[in-house]
Structure 1
Amino acid sequence: PGYPFAGPRLLSPAATVRTAPPTAPAPTPGPAPEADAAPARTPGDLVAARWTELLGRPGLAPDADFFDLGGDSLLVVRLAHRLGEDLGVRVPVRSLLTGPTLAEHTALAASLLLAGDPR
């Protein structure tokens, strides 16, 4: 390539690898008090956060179009998968494709939660 290779360096056969002695695991904290718990996120917050993550554009308007902002079919599949993990429901890719705005994706997520469509 036209740039220096930044891959892993190989050790020579004569080199020895030293490892640190095992340490005791850190104590795990107990359950967090209710006052410290993060507020529940709405479907709109989750969809907007995933759009920002995948498209790299924060502060999106409800009428923003996923494809006009640089999204493609592969990103829609990723979006469906990640929203499904966040919401605990199966998110149909076809529905995301037919309604490409942030408002439509938010409405879809809310309706899937109300319907209780399990994975």
Structure 2
Amino acid sequence: MTDNAFPPSLLAAQRTLVEGVRRLAAIPLRPYEDGAGVLHRTGNGWRADHDQVEADLRRQLLDATLVLQTDPYWQTVADPVAARQALKVRVRELADAETSGGGPELAA
């Protein structure tokens, strides 16, 4: 599969998914009180605005997943599973190149 084999919409959706998962994992877990009245996860940096941030990120992840799952491109390849894995690898390579200073930009 060549570097230009994937439509820009799939590259952008995969990148959104990867970035969204990374950002979601960075949000501290919400504190909670168990049945015995003991508070857990206090003092971990959670703030009230994290609820909305988390909801927004989850919506972005759902939207990106919808694009990734329903794009007509997948009907044009002989092995959609291998192509999906290749897309993940390609986005990772592009992200690594950008991080190391000056790799190719992803098309939006």
- TM-score scaled to structure 2, two decimals? 0.27
In terms of Rg, which structure is larger? 1
- TM-score scaled to structure 1, two decimals? 0.25
Q: If each structure's helix is expressed as a fraction of its own residues, which one has the higher value?
A: 2
